[in-house]
Amino acid sequence: MAESPRPKRKREEEEEAAGAEPHDGAAVPAFPLAELRLRRVLRESAREKAVFLHGEVPGEAVSPSGEGANAVVILEKTPFQEEKILDLLKKHTKLELQMRNDIYSTYHLYPPPELSEIKTTVVYPATEKHLQKYLRQEVHLIRETWEDYKSITLPFIQSQSFSIQWVYNILEKKAEADRIVHENPDPCDGFVLVPDLKWNQNQLDDLYLIALIHRREVKSLRDLTAEHLPLLRNVLQEGKEAIRKRFGVPASQLRIYLHYQPSYYHLHVHFTALGYDAPGSSVERAHLLADVIDNLAMDSTYYQKRALTFPLRADELLFKKFQEAGRV
């Protein structure tokens, strides 16, 4: 939910900022995983079978108190591979009956090591910022009135110098030009459709594209009026058509929506595969483009009147602004 839509880009920025040079993997010794001291579980996901750990590497004292150096270790069980399922059924080391009731039974199956890989990601040495990033944060819903928007959210957006140069680079064909799936070049009612960086385009299951509008002054849902209907209808119709042509996915299997709050304040529309439980597609953050169009057609100032709900992490600055205003 709190995930960034451009994680790779963020990652690149972090590294650029640190002036880090990527090392060659060959010469570097493996991380001493077996010696790691487990400090705490930062976060876990029972549904996704993943856990985020804060560990300490002993012998690497970096503080006068003798503390070791911090590491973040992420363990994630891997999806089943179809070609290895038969092996799994035949080569299990143990099969324990747990429960049997009529035609239903459950077992504990213990596979050999080569069939139970765990993807392990290490961030080492990790700073306090890395630890914070992976620490489970409380999330709260905000119900933002139009007055809240004007007095809290808008000043916050304006005070931040969010860089959206990467959006302009795409619109101006200075970056990702070869990735453009469709463009309507009209400066007022046009847009560019590109695959989201989260989608590797290897399979359609998690199809994810983004439409970036050419106009530059529309920050979010809150700025939309009936004036933007031709633009929004172009995005909806041409976006569907382009995805059907390029990827063979019919419009009825696309979830097409905007986020509020968005991750960056240049209006964009998400296109994801309906069967894909995309992060940020929950009702508390997503707004179907078809509903947005109908709302604006009914009332041009719909989004300048209505209260809107959205989630914020307790460590986000905007959350603090709402707290200061006594609105949480």
Which residues participate in catalysis according to the annotation? Answer: 268
User: CA 300, 284, 9 angle in degrees (round to 5)?
Assistant: 95
Instruction: Name which position in 8, 186, 309, 324 contacts a second copy (CB under 8 A).
Output: 309
> Mind giving me the DSSP string for 94-120?
EEEEEEEETTEEEEEEE--GGG--EEE
- Within its chain, how far is the Cα of 50 from the centroid? 16
Task: Report if residue 83 touches a second copy, rule: CB under 8 A.
Answer: no
Please tell me whether 198 is known to bind a ligand: yes
Instruction: Name which position in 3, 7, 61, 89 contacts a second copy (CB under 8 A).
Output: 89
Determine contact, residues 307/145, Cβ cutoff 8 Å. Answer: yes
In angstroms, what is the minimal distance from the CB of 128 to a second copy? 14
Determine contact, residues 240/290, Cβ cutoff 8 Å. Answer: no
Q: Which stretch binds a second copy (CB under 8 A): 155-163, 174-182, 230-238, 289-297?
A: 289-297
Site for a second copy in 21-60 (CB under 8 A): 21-23, 25, 28, 30-31, 33-34, 36, 38, 41, 44-51, 53, 55
Q: Which stretch binds a second copy (CB under 8 A): 94-102, 161-169, 182-190, 220-228?
A: 94-102
The site map against a second copy for 61-80 (x = CB under 8 A) is: ------------x-x-xxxx
316: which 2 tokens? Answer: 């986000």
Site for a second copy in 105-134 (CB under 8 A): 105-114, 116-126
- Which residues contact residue 68 at a Cβ distance below 8 angstroms, ignoring those fewer than 6 apart? 37, 56, 57, 58, 59, 60, 61, 62
Phi and psi based region of residue 176 (left: phi greater than 0; alpha: psi -120 to 50; beta: remaining) = left
Determine contact, residues 247/208, Cβ cutoff 8 Å. Answer: no
In angstroms, what is the minimal distance from the CB of 267 to a second copy? 17
Site for a second copy in 246-265 (CB under 8 A): 250, 252-255, 257
Please tell me whether 181 is known to bind a ligand: no
When the beta carbons of 182 and 255 are compared against a second copy, the nearer one is 255
* Total residues in contact with a second copy, by rule CB under 8 A: 100
Determine contact, residues 270/259, Cβ cutoff 8 Å. Answer: yes
Please tell me whether 263 is known to bind a ligand: yes
Known binding site: residues?
A: 166, 176, 196, 198, 259-270
